[in-house]
Amino acid sequence: MHSALAQQGIDAATKIRAAMQASLDQQKASVRKQAETAQTVATGTFFTIPWPDSDPIVQPPFENSKCDAMAEPQLASLIGEAAKREGLQPDLIRAVVQKESAGRPCAVSPMGAQGLMQIMPATATQLSLSDPFDPKQNIDAGAKFLKQLLTKYSGDLSLALGAYNAGSGRVDKEGGVPQNAETQNYVSDILKKLKQ
Protein backbone atom coordinates (compact mmCIF):
# COMPACT_ATOMS: atom_id res chain seq x y z
CA MET A 1 0.00 0.00 0.00
CA HIS A 2 2.85 2.38 0.85
CA SER A 3 4.48 1.74 -2.53
CA ALA A 4 1.18 2.48 -4.31
CA LEU A 5 0.88 5.80 -2.44
CA ALA A 6 4.50 6.60 -3.19
CA GLN A 7 3.92 5.86 -6.88
CA GLN A 8 0.84 8.13 -6.90
CA GLY A 9 2.97 10.91 -5.39
CA ILE A 10 5.65 10.39 -8.04
CA ASP A 11 3.02 10.38 -10.80
CA ALA A 12 1.47 13.60 -9.47
CA ALA A 13 4.87 15.28 -9.23
CA THR A 14 5.68 14.23 -12.80
CA LYS A 15 2.39 15.71 -14.06
CA ILE A 16 3.01 18.96 -12.20
CA ARG A 17 6.54 19.24 -13.63
CA ALA A 18 5.21 18.60 -17.14
CA ALA A 19 2.52 21.27 -16.75
CA MET A 20 5.05 23.75 -15.38
CA GLN A 21 7.45 23.00 -18.24
CA ALA A 22 4.72 23.59 -20.82
CA SER A 23 3.92 26.93 -19.19
CA LEU A 24 7.59 27.89 -19.11
CA ASP A 25 7.99 26.94 -22.77
CA GLN A 26 5.01 29.16 -23.66
CA GLN A 27 6.48 32.04 -21.65
CA LYS A 28 9.90 31.63 -23.30
CA ALA A 29 8.30 31.64 -26.75
CA SER A 30 6.40 34.80 -25.86
CA VAL A 31 9.55 36.52 -24.59
CA ARG A 32 11.43 35.50 -27.76
CA LYS A 33 8.64 36.96 -29.90
CA GLN A 34 8.62 40.19 -27.88
CA ALA A 35 12.39 40.48 -28.18
CA GLU A 36 12.20 39.96 -31.95
CA THR A 37 9.65 42.74 -32.36
CA ALA A 38 11.24 45.18 -29.89
CA GLN A 39 12.19 48.57 -31.28
CA THR A 40 15.77 49.78 -31.10
CA VAL A 41 16.29 52.92 -29.05
CA ALA A 42 19.22 55.27 -29.44
CA THR A 43 21.55 55.27 -26.46
CA GLY A 44 21.60 58.33 -24.28
CA THR A 45 17.95 59.18 -24.90
CA PHE A 46 15.55 59.91 -22.10
CA PHE A 47 12.70 57.73 -23.41
CA THR A 48 12.83 53.94 -23.40
CA ILE A 49 10.78 53.77 -26.59
CA PRO A 50 10.75 56.13 -29.57
CA TRP A 51 8.30 59.01 -29.48
CA PRO A 52 5.23 58.13 -31.59
CA ASP A 53 5.07 59.74 -35.03
CA SER A 54 1.28 59.79 -35.14
CA ASP A 55 -1.57 59.64 -32.65
CA PRO A 56 -0.27 58.59 -29.24
CA ILE A 57 -2.60 55.59 -29.01
CA VAL A 58 -1.14 53.21 -26.50
CA GLN A 59 -1.68 49.58 -27.41
CA PRO A 60 -1.99 47.19 -24.46
CA PRO A 61 1.04 44.91 -24.04
CA PHE A 62 -1.12 41.85 -24.67
CA GLU A 63 -2.13 42.86 -28.23
CA ASN A 64 -1.52 39.85 -30.42
CA SER A 65 -2.93 39.63 -33.92
CA LYS A 66 -2.73 35.83 -33.80
CA CYS A 67 -5.17 35.69 -30.92
CA ASP A 68 -8.71 36.93 -31.40
CA ALA A 69 -11.03 37.89 -28.59
CA MET A 70 -13.44 35.15 -27.55
CA ALA A 71 -16.94 35.11 -29.00
CA GLU A 72 -19.32 36.93 -26.66
CA PRO A 73 -21.80 34.06 -26.11
CA GLN A 74 -19.04 31.67 -25.02
CA LEU A 75 -17.34 34.30 -22.85
CA ALA A 76 -20.65 35.26 -21.22
CA SER A 77 -21.38 31.63 -20.40
CA LEU A 78 -17.98 31.07 -18.75
CA ILE A 79 -18.24 34.33 -16.81
CA GLY A 80 -21.78 33.50 -15.66
CA GLU A 81 -20.78 30.05 -14.40
CA ALA A 82 -17.74 31.38 -12.50
CA ALA A 83 -19.70 34.30 -11.04
CA LYS A 84 -22.42 31.98 -9.75
CA ARG A 85 -19.92 29.55 -8.26
CA GLU A 86 -17.92 32.28 -6.47
CA GLY A 87 -20.87 34.53 -5.56
CA LEU A 88 -19.55 37.45 -7.63
CA GLN A 89 -21.21 39.89 -10.02
CA PRO A 90 -20.71 38.75 -13.63
CA ASP A 91 -20.05 42.40 -14.54
CA LEU A 92 -17.05 42.45 -12.20
CA ILE A 93 -15.46 39.41 -13.82
CA ARG A 94 -16.25 40.79 -17.29
CA ALA A 95 -14.66 44.15 -16.43
CA VAL A 96 -11.49 42.44 -15.19
CA VAL A 97 -11.32 40.23 -18.31
CA GLN A 98 -11.72 43.27 -20.58
CA LYS A 99 -9.15 45.34 -18.68
CA GLU A 100 -6.64 42.49 -18.41
CA SER A 101 -6.79 40.91 -21.88
CA ALA A 102 -9.59 42.48 -23.94
CA GLY A 103 -11.05 38.97 -24.03
CA ARG A 104 -8.01 37.34 -25.65
CA PRO A 105 -7.37 33.87 -24.16
CA CYS A 106 -3.74 33.66 -25.35
CA ALA A 107 -2.68 37.02 -23.90
CA VAL A 108 0.68 37.13 -22.12
CA SER A 109 1.90 40.27 -20.37
CA PRO A 110 5.53 41.40 -20.25
CA MET A 111 5.51 40.33 -16.58
CA GLY A 112 4.38 36.80 -17.48
CA ALA A 113 0.68 37.03 -16.58
CA GLN A 114 -1.35 34.69 -18.76
CA GLY A 115 -4.76 34.22 -20.30
CA LEU A 116 -8.05 36.06 -20.12
CA MET A 117 -7.66 37.19 -16.51
CA GLN A 118 -3.87 37.50 -16.69
CA ILE A 119 -2.98 35.04 -13.95
CA MET A 120 0.65 35.12 -12.81
CA PRO A 121 2.40 31.71 -12.79
CA ALA A 122 2.79 31.69 -8.99
CA THR A 123 -0.90 32.47 -8.55
CA ALA A 124 -1.78 29.80 -11.11
CA THR A 125 0.12 27.24 -9.03
CA GLN A 126 -1.60 28.43 -5.84
CA LEU A 127 -5.01 28.08 -7.53
CA SER A 128 -4.17 24.69 -9.14
CA LEU A 129 -4.58 26.22 -12.60
CA SER A 130 -3.01 23.66 -14.94
CA ASP A 131 -3.59 25.49 -18.25
CA PRO A 132 -3.75 29.28 -17.97
CA PHE A 133 -4.66 29.53 -21.67
CA ASP A 134 -7.79 27.40 -21.29
CA PRO A 135 -10.58 30.02 -21.07
CA LYS A 136 -12.73 28.09 -18.58
CA GLN A 137 -9.84 27.27 -16.25
CA ASN A 138 -8.51 30.83 -16.43
CA ILE A 139 -11.84 32.50 -15.69
CA ASP A 140 -12.60 30.03 -12.89
CA ALA A 141 -9.18 30.68 -11.31
CA GLY A 142 -9.44 34.45 -11.75
CA ALA A 143 -12.90 34.53 -10.19
CA LYS A 144 -11.71 32.38 -7.30
CA PHE A 145 -8.74 34.71 -6.79
CA LEU A 146 -10.99 37.80 -6.86
CA LYS A 147 -13.25 36.17 -4.26
CA GLN A 148 -10.23 35.43 -2.04
CA LEU A 149 -9.10 39.06 -2.30
CA LEU A 150 -12.59 40.40 -1.56
CA THR A 151 -12.75 38.15 1.51
CA LYS A 152 -9.27 39.24 2.63
CA TYR A 153 -10.18 42.93 2.30
CA SER A 154 -13.65 42.59 3.89
CA GLY A 155 -15.52 43.26 0.65
CA ASP A 156 -13.57 46.44 -0.23
CA LEU A 157 -13.60 46.24 -4.02
CA SER A 158 -10.98 48.97 -4.49
CA LEU A 159 -8.48 47.12 -2.30
CA ALA A 160 -9.28 43.77 -3.93
CA LEU A 161 -8.77 45.22 -7.41
CA GLY A 162 -5.59 46.97 -6.28
CA ALA A 163 -4.28 43.65 -4.98
CA TYR A 164 -5.33 41.85 -8.18
CA ASN A 165 -3.26 44.33 -10.19
CA ALA A 166 -0.29 45.07 -7.93
CA GLY A 167 -0.32 42.21 -5.42
CA SER A 168 -1.60 41.89 -1.85
CA GLY A 169 1.84 42.61 -0.42
CA ARG A 170 1.88 46.02 -2.04
CA VAL A 171 -1.66 46.86 -0.86
CA ASP A 172 -0.81 45.74 2.68
CA LYS A 173 2.46 47.67 2.71
CA GLU A 174 0.89 50.90 1.44
CA GLY A 175 -2.27 50.48 3.52
CA GLY A 176 -4.52 51.04 0.51
CA VAL A 177 -4.63 51.01 -3.26
CA PRO A 178 -1.00 51.40 -4.40
CA GLN A 179 -0.22 54.94 -5.51
CA ASN A 180 1.37 54.01 -8.85
CA ALA A 181 -0.46 55.32 -11.92
CA GLU A 182 -1.04 51.89 -13.45
CA THR A 183 -2.85 50.50 -10.41
CA GLN A 184 -4.76 53.73 -9.75
CA ASN A 185 -6.01 53.76 -13.36
CA TYR A 186 -6.76 50.03 -13.26
CA VAL A 187 -8.99 50.34 -10.18
CA SER A 188 -10.63 53.55 -11.40
CA ASP A 189 -11.38 52.16 -14.87
CA ILE A 190 -13.00 49.00 -13.53
CA LEU A 191 -15.06 50.85 -10.92
CA LYS A 192 -16.31 53.27 -13.61
CA LYS A 193 -17.20 50.34 -15.87
CA LEU A 194 -19.24 48.74 -13.08
CA LYS A 195 -21.22 51.97 -12.52
CA GLN A 196 -22.32 52.20 -16.17
Q: What is the pLDDT of residue 11?
A: 65
> pTM above the 0.85 mark?
no
Residue percentage of the chain with pLDDT more than 70: 66
Encode pLDDT of 13-46 as tens digits.
Answer: 566 666 666 665 666 666 565 555 544 444 444 4
DSSP assignment, residue 175?
A: T
Side-chain half-sphere exposure of 69, counting CA atoms within 13 A: 14
H helices of the chain, where?
2-37, 72-86, 90-101, 121-126, 135-152, 157-166, 168-174, 181-195
Dihedral of the alpha carbons of 176, 180, 185, 188, in degrees to the nearest 10: 10
99-139 confidence digits (pLDDT tens): 999 999 999 999 999 999 999 999 999 999 999 999 999 99
Residues, the chain:
196
Q: 93 CB contacts (<8 Å, ≥6 apart)? A: 79, 82, 83, 117, 139, 142, 143, 146
Tell me the sheet residues that pair with 127.
none
Distance CA 159, CA 184 (A): 11
List active site positions: 100
Segment 82-96 mean pLDDT:
98
